[in-house]
Amino acid sequence: MKRIAWIGTGIMGRSMCLNLIEAGYEVSVYNRTRSKAAELEKRGAVWYDSPAAATGSAEAVFTIVGYPRDVEEVYFGENGILDACDSGTVLVDMTTSEPSLAQRIAAAASERDLLALDAPVSGGDVGAQNGSLAIMVGGDDDTFERMLPAFQVLGENVRLMGPAGAGQHTKMCNQTLVAGTMIGVVESLLYAYRAGLDLDSVIGVIGTGAASSFLINNLGPRIAQGNYDPGFYIEHFVKDMGIALAEAERMNLSMPGLSLVHQFYLSAKALGWEKLGTQGLYRVLAHMNGIDS
């Protein structure tokens, strides 16, 4: 499999697509804002003006867009890809989206003699750039094996988690853990600040012990530098937490920790900080404590 279509060239998608181009894949590309695909065009990707047009003769179509409504539009809307693909094409949605939507896509694909996987990722902008993402896949074994070489270009930990929707459910587990860890990172660094400690020195010590995590070691230094540029937007994380909480309610599961962190991130949106990276939660709690961030 060498001919692919790539829909969505944001912070994550652009780097992921570039890795596939560099691995020798022939890529057609679409994004709502063409300028965000300019680097990919320079590297050999061919631009098309709609998702349907981009599918062309692609053997697989990858999508990574913003919200479930965007996934709906890309797959089911006017100029959507479900009715534009040739028989046997594999559809891979890497957006963090609703498990029920992944199941709908899989069912609609089956009716059209297409194959579908939901394959959300974790690892942020650094993982996307380095091809070191964790990829959580929902679907059948044969389709997973068919797509594994491409997944291995994009990530280092690629796992089939179960049938359609299982990848998205796993991503909800991931985002719940990220939320809980992020509040710990932020409160830890606020404590260090108030205690008069050097944040980088604190990170250098606690980031090697029992408190070590991707977040303290990768986003902690950005906080220390006052760098809130997005590796992953707050507004998208709010979306993810909302999906997880809705699924939890459906399963009659109480998740008070996630609910609390969700409220703090909603405060970030209320303050106009939705375009910051998720480490921008530090600014919210700093604001609450009268600390200049």
Which residue, 289, 285, 288, is CA-closest to 186?
A: 285
Q: How far apart (Å, rounded) are the C-alpha atoms in residues 232 and 224?
A: 18
Domain-located, residue 279: yes
41: its two tokens: 């065009």
Task: Please check whether residues 13 and 139 belong to one and the same domain.
Answer: yes
Domain-located, residue 134: yes
Q: Calculate the CA 3 to chain-centre distance.
A: 23
Residue type, 211: A
Would you say 224 and 207 are in contact if contact means Cβ atoms under 8 Å apart? Answer: no
Domain-terminating residue out of 162, 185, 201 = 162
**pLDDT tens per residue across span 265-292:** 999 999 999 999 999 999 999 999 999 8
Catalytic residue among 171, 239, 269, 275: 171
Domain-terminating residue out of 132, 162, 192 = 162
Which residue, 112, 150, 145, 114, is CA-closest to 21?
A: 150
Domain region containing 48:
3-162
**pLDDT tens per residue across span 62-86:** 999 999 999 999 999 988 999 999 9
Task: Please check whether residues 125 and 20 belong to one and the same domain.
Answer: yes
CB burial of 171-196 (b: ≥16 within 10 Å; e: otherwise) equals: bbebbbebbebbbebbebbbebbeee
Domain-located, residue 17: yes
Q: If pLDDT is split at 50, 70 and 90, which confidence band does 57 have?
A: confident
Q: What is the CATH number of the domain that holds 45?
A: 3.40.50.720
Domain count of the fold of the chain: 2
- E-strand ranges in the chain read 3-7, 26-30, 46-47, 60-63, 90-93, 115-118, 121-122, 133-138, 155-162
Q: Is 171 a catalytic residue?
A: yes
- Across 39-67, average pLDDT: 95
Task: Please check whether residues 192 and 56 belong to one and the same domain.
Answer: no
Domain-located, residue 74: yes
Beta bridge partners of 257: none
DSSP-assigned states of every residue in 30-72: E-SSGGGGHHHHHTT-EE-SSHHHHHTT-SEEEE--SSHHHHH
Task: Please check whether residues 97 and 189 belong to one and the same domain.
Answer: no
Task: Please check whether residues 92 and 67 belong to one and the same domain.
Answer: yes
Task: Please check whether residues 81 and 150 belong to one and the same domain.
Answer: yes
**pLDDT tens per residue across span 161-206:** 999 999 999 999 999 999 999 999 999 999 999 999 999 999 999 9
Domain-located, residue 145: yes
Going by their DSSP bridges, the two strands 121-122 and 115-118 should be labelled as unpaired
Domain-located, residue 140: yes
Domain-terminating residue out of 106, 130, 162 = 162
Would you say 172 and 240 are in contact if contact means Cβ atoms under 8 Å apart? Answer: yes
Task: Please check whether residues 247 and 268 belong to one and the same domain.
Answer: yes
Q: How far apart (Å, rounded) are the C-alpha atoms in residues 178 and 159?
A: 19
Q: What is the CATH number of the domain that holds 263?
A: 1.10.1040.10
Q: How far apart (Å, rounded) are the C-alpha atoms in residues 104 and 82?
A: 12
**pLDDT tens per residue across span 240-251:** 999 999 999 999
Q: How far apart (Å, rounded) are the C-alpha atoms in residues 120 and 22?
A: 21
